[in-house]
Structure 1
């Protein structure tokens, strides 16, 4: 096998090579556009073209600098297309002029593109120092390490992990119950890199054979696990109400009565047709302070009491800070019991920058997207909310994109995961579907039912295999109900998550050190003696 993979241009010379490079970059970006949820058509396996194309561009580059540049531009193209929807909330609800809002998806994509750029630069650097088998493994581990970094740097934004694209085909994410979404991405990128590595003479090489076997094993394990029975637990009936409240009216005080009436009417109709044990309303479904004794709050509590059900709903909340003589705001979830009283509360722990607070608010001349409510403060307790036979691990809004938060909920005893969100910000874009698929990935990783209640969709019940049992349409007033099971059995990934993540990072660093040592060894001159 050739340990020093060389750049090879076509017979047409420099212009022909440039065209091939641009074609591969477009293929990689196209794979991302089609692979992740989009407004036209999604085929998740196309997402594999993204890391495959990046690997090819890195390997065929003339230098690490060129590889880094190729990776950045390709990822910029890919992510700008996948995140086009960022324009909608920034312009429509942030009151940013269109000319200033249009570049926002590109600016976010520029930041995210740094990670694939590093991937390409380091992969090129390593290609002359590692064997093809080791190079493919290094590519997978490096990708996994960079996905972990995306989740923590600058508060984290792991919105487009490779495994989330696969959630559209539930069998494709079953391995996440064993190795998590990051582990699955590591395996898939290893396989795609092995496949694109050029052979010296024959198209059939050992890395490509291993890549085919790895992908085949991934598919077989996934399909077999879908046929396995779900873990058994105590069953409960859950109802979800999607109020479809216009975001521009939601925080209007004159519209509060209509908002509450809509949720109560939909809930009463749902319970009459399909009695439920738990009713779930979306994030900040109540645009007032439920903690206060108000007429509208009394109506909500009366619903739980008259229907004798558990009611989980979102509402802003506050505490008074005596030391600083000011109010502290929270994005809170309330669990109301069958008697109408508050059984538990959860305050959102991972807030959305510029959505719920402004980073460096005293410096940056910017405002939040959320109207009528001040900056929120993050919560500190992720304890599940217990009611009946259920222990509800609540994830508000984009908290569901963070694997560690779902992991924490289950570690603390959650038997069911609940994602309460208000995706009205995104409009009629692909963002709600992308968000839904991230929730499905969390359900598989933790082996829990996921209840997803949103203001405008997509609300859903997702089973522990990531299958969407029921879902609503976007921007439709709707309700649905279904059975869920309280599960306390944990997945292999849940038990070993910390170890798996550290193994990925640790092996990545070890392979970097190994490559450095091999390079130094190769540079050491050989001294011969005359006898």
Structure 2
């Protein structure tokens, strides 16, 4: 028992060391071998007497729970229940996939069952990118955010391709070790293993380096400024006058401004007080920014805000609208990106919402039971409104379109491609990572933006309230950055592109294929199991 526990802990430790912000992502290529060995030993052991499935689940659950908690415990600062539930759910689901693999060993055979495991895992990751309780932070392909040079081919596959690669290498090495234990290998078998390692490890790495080398920074550019005001979201941000905060942001921008700047990015909910979307042009903060922009008539200012919309007629209300019983009207609250020039205003509403903070999952079922039971963190909380399309902000005087990617949205690869498909020339990410305090959370969030740059071959400009603000090129390399608890502005010429990548066109096609394979494996395993019984 101790031996198996140590093997499970070894898998957990390898996964922890591989995860950003640590730069040891290649450890994922061997991290599952100890756990696969645990399953093998349980399968061949007579000790458990009909409880082998539970044993596989138990050891796997321990490994995956430790990994998830160690890499995402910081959620606790924003939502304690979220930290607990996300780790428990992920660990349970991942352990169940190991149980499915164990069951498959009986009906598919040990070798073919190994093939089913990547199908289950990729299908699971694809699923959690899309349902109401989505928490894709720990998807395996994200590990290489710490080593973007190794996965330049994400422009073809997205992060699910990375997940598949990790599993293929793990099962190849595990299968060889299992065979080696049974019998010594001949020279031919050693050569066969070496060939597989070259094929599955060195070829993808060489391909990545070759792809990265072919991209050269040429073409049109935009002069972009990002602002990091460094306001504490727990004490200062939502207790300070909006006008004062706006003046502070403009003063920070002034330190790097001139009339050549094309775009200024300020963080998510930098205007937290609640702006009425039906009269944005009359809001004091917006008018202050427009007045400031008269010095810079060719500059576009993109800033995050808490906004709301009142519906005059009940039939106009959206599915997320709330009802004000006292005033008898429906209204929506939004986490919004606002594009401001000296004479125009445009809005985009955040549409990937944080479960339990900005969105009630399974709203139609749970709201009648719980009401608006959403954690209140100040600012844009409650069940927020969304929109169907990923709008981009065209520049007023230049042939340029900015993608207003808001915070949590930047974790969803296929979702972000919709901005690029709608004409975005670069990705403008605005976020408020201060909720997580000085932990790995904001570092991971910044690292994941590198994967979005690769998938879309778009430069990234990132403005955080605090955390990391900076610039990332279309190969995932950090060009400039401001760190935790720093106030300031950065300015960078970012290269523009509107050429589509394969991933933009087909999205997570690997995930859709994995669904079909996973269903086929499940049907075979359980139908055949019943026939045998």
Mapped pair 1:311 → 2:301: yes
Secondary structure in 2 matching 1:239: strand
Secondary structure in 2 matching 1:287: strand
Cα shift readout 1:462-489 (whole Å, capped 9, x = no counterpart): 1221112222111210211112222111
Higher RCO structure, 1 or 2 (CA under 8 Å, sep 6+): 2
| TM-score in terms of structure 2 length | 0.85
Alignment of 1:125-524 (within 5 A): 125-130=103-108, 134-197=112-175, 198-199=178-179, 200-202=182-184, 209-230=195-216, 232-252=218-238, 254-272=240-258, 275-289=260-274, 291=280, 293-308=282-297, 309-324=299-314, 325-337=329-341, 339-342=342-345, 344-359=346-361, 360=366, 363-364=369-370, 366-373=373-380, 375=382, 376-387=384-395, 388-514=398-524
Mapped pair 1:21 → 2:31: no
Cα shift readout 1:487-531 (whole Å, capped 9, x = no counterpart): 11111222232533322222233344455677689x59xxxxxxx
CA distance in 2 between partners of 1:130 and 1:212 (Å) = 27
Pick closer, same or farther for the CA change 1:246–1:114 going to 2, 3 Å: same
Q: Deviation at 1:110?
A: 0.7
Q: Deviation at 1:47?
A: 3.3
Alignment of 1:44-83 (within 5 A): 44-62=25-43, 63-83=52-72
Pick closer, same or farther for the CA change 1:513–1:468 going to 2, 3 Å: same
Cα shift readout 1:148-185 (whole Å, capped 9, x = no counterpart): 12222334110111121111111222121121110221
- Asked if the contact 1:86/1:426 (under 8 Å) is kept, the reply is yes
CA distance in 2 between partners of 1:33 and 1:236 (Å) = 38
Q: Deviation at 1:59?
A: 3.1
RMSD of aligned residue pairs (Cα, Å): 2.6
Q: Deviation at 1:251?
A: 4.6
| TM-score in terms of structure 1 length | 0.85
Q: Deviation at 1:211?
A: 4.2
CA distance in 1 between partners of 2:480 and 2:27 (Å) = 26
CA distance in 2 between partners of 1:278 and 1:141 (Å) = 43
Secondary structure in 1 matching 2:205: helix
Pick closer, same or farther for the CA change 1:147–1:58 going to 2, 3 Å: farther
CA distance in 2 between partners of 1:418 and 1:506 (Å) = 35
- Asked if the contact 2:335/2:380 (under 8 Å) is kept, the reply is no
Cα shift readout 1:289-326 (whole Å, capped 9, x = no counterpart): 45252433322112222122111111111111223413
Q: Which runs of 5+ in 2 are unaligned?
A: 44-51, 315-328
Give the paired residue count. Answer: 490
Q: Which runs of 5+ in 1 are unaligned?
A: 1-17, 91-100, 525-531
